[in-house]
Amino acid sequence: MSSSSDSTNPPPGMEKPATVTPPPAPPPSKPIWVLPYKTQSLQNLYTIGKKLGQGQFGTTHLCTEKSTGINYACKSIPKKKLICKEDYDDVWREIQIMHHLSEHANVVRIKGTYEDRLYVHIVMELCAGGELFDRIVQKGHYSEREAAKLIKTIVGVVEACHSLGVMHRDLKPENFLFLSTDEDAALKATDFGLSVFYKPVHIMLRQRCCISITGPEADVWSAGVILYILLSGVPPFWAETELGIFRQILQGKLDFESEPWPGISDSAKDLIRKMLDRNPKRRLSAHEVLCHQWIVDDRVAPDKPLDSAVLSRLKQFSAMNKLKKMALRVIAERLSEEEIGGLKELFKMIDTDSSGTITFDELKEGLRRVGSELMESEIKDLMDAADIDNSGTIDYGEFLAATVHLNKLEREENLVSAFAFFDKDGSGYITIDELQEACNEFGLGDVHLDEMIKEIDQDNDGQIDYGEFAAMMRKGNGGVGRRTMRGNFNLGDALGV
């Protein structure tokens, strides 16, 4: 997906490593499928154009959607390079994580996935401005103001990943692309092929010796390396071999004496030291990086972390009326496996005893792990809001409804299917009796149906037509229910989704 190459030679230590291609596996006697469903043919929907880039496992081409003429990038992964089941699982996880993160403004948005006997194709947003790597090579290094702006974006992506229970694990200048060739073009993170979901806490504890290597702190380290490169044009640790680089890292000595470091502020160097602290327990978190005085505009840092994505969505959900909550559950349970895969993994991360339900204590610990700092009373409010059937726990369906990204509501087909669920007789209206039947199905008691219909029924005919239903679903982030002083409090935001 990157743009054309540049003739400028990169500075020492910034040469791209040679691509290592694993030996191809013999062609399978019968096709092996990555996606759990059959897809349309890519060639029927898109015209494939010029090659944009080449990675270790896939080749990216320009592609044009035939129905709209819009250009996208298509990453095609040959199955012959997927040697074992783990390789296939990695591709499926990459697709799920891209959907999980795709609403972030600085993450390349996934458009769709396709599969045939020989390839898995991932169609995504086209970033025509090239790699951050290429711009560093062209510039040599960035000014502090420019570097601060870029690293704020990069660490913002890291913070979003961590709040959603994802570790990127492959942050480097080649994996950040500019949306266009404009000087101020948006920067987008891509290539989630090595990304993984957090493991449940009890598994992490059993692997305590590996946390410093595989934990989310590793992403902050990688971002610190990128910041050093942005300001100096060369990496902080360099040798001719991987073993040599490893020794440089263990020594931990950063060069702040060579040019251009004498002219760079002490504040920038302080941030780099704290991001490249070899002790992961002392290393700054993504949020602490964003609060550092060198990053913060006007030297005023936020007094607490932003709500994680899960927490934000939980807050939004808690402010919705009962009908919108039920409709969200209907929609969530009809979404594809790849769209909800990230939420499934997030649910498993919080449900540490694998019981299939989330208790109050598990929710409290799960929110803490993704950076939320809520009082117990606030967590209890979120728990009550997400617990649609008042069982005292949050089951998987309730969790999906409370944390699914609200952009899913905007799809007409989702609204139509949700309306049809309530409109049992297909009359085109949701009546009070049909609402009562739906409430019974969801285990809801003591629901004031007259009031529910009254606040949605715009023409006062005592029932809800599709237009009124769609308007209610699309209105704001909190629906049309009554709001308290904490009216935007929602479970999804708490967890960062």
Residues carrying an active site annotation: 170
The token pair that represents 437 in the structure block: 């039947």
H helix or E strand, kind and range, residue 46: strand 46-54
Task: Compute the distance between CA of residue 480 and CA of residue 203 in angstroms, rounded to an integer.
Answer: 41
The token pair that represents 4 in the structure block: 């054309």
The residue count for the chain: 497
Strand partners, 74: 61, 123
The token pair that represents 57 in the structure block: 């496992």
The number of helices, as runs of H, and strands, as runs of E, in the chain is 21, 13
- For residues 386 and 318, the answer to whether their CB atoms sit within 8 Å is yes
3-state helix, strand, coil in the chain (%, to 5): 45, 10, 45
Nearest by Cα to 79 from 37, 36, 122, 32: 32
In order of 154, 183, 206, the CA distances from 226 in angstroms are 9, 19, 31
Task: Compute the distance between CA of residue 377 and CA of residue 361 in angstroms, rounded to an integer.
Answer: 12
Q: What angle do CA 307, 300, 366 make, to 5 degrees?
A: 20
Task: Compute the distance between CA of residue 152 and CA of residue 286 in angstroms, rounded to an integer.
Answer: 10
**First CA to last CA distance, the chain:** 26
- For residues 227 and 136, the answer to whether their CB atoms sit within 8 Å is no
- The amino acid present at 143, given as its one-letter code, is S
269 assigned ligand-binding residue: no
- For residues 154 and 176, the answer to whether their CB atoms sit within 8 Å is yes
H helix or E strand, kind and range, residue 152: helix 144-163
- The amino acid present at 468, given as its one-letter code, is E
- The amino acid present at 156, given as its one-letter code, is G
Under DSSP, the state recorded for 131 is B
Please report, in range form, the residues annotated as the binding site for ATP: 85
Please report, in range form, the residues annotated as the binding site: 85
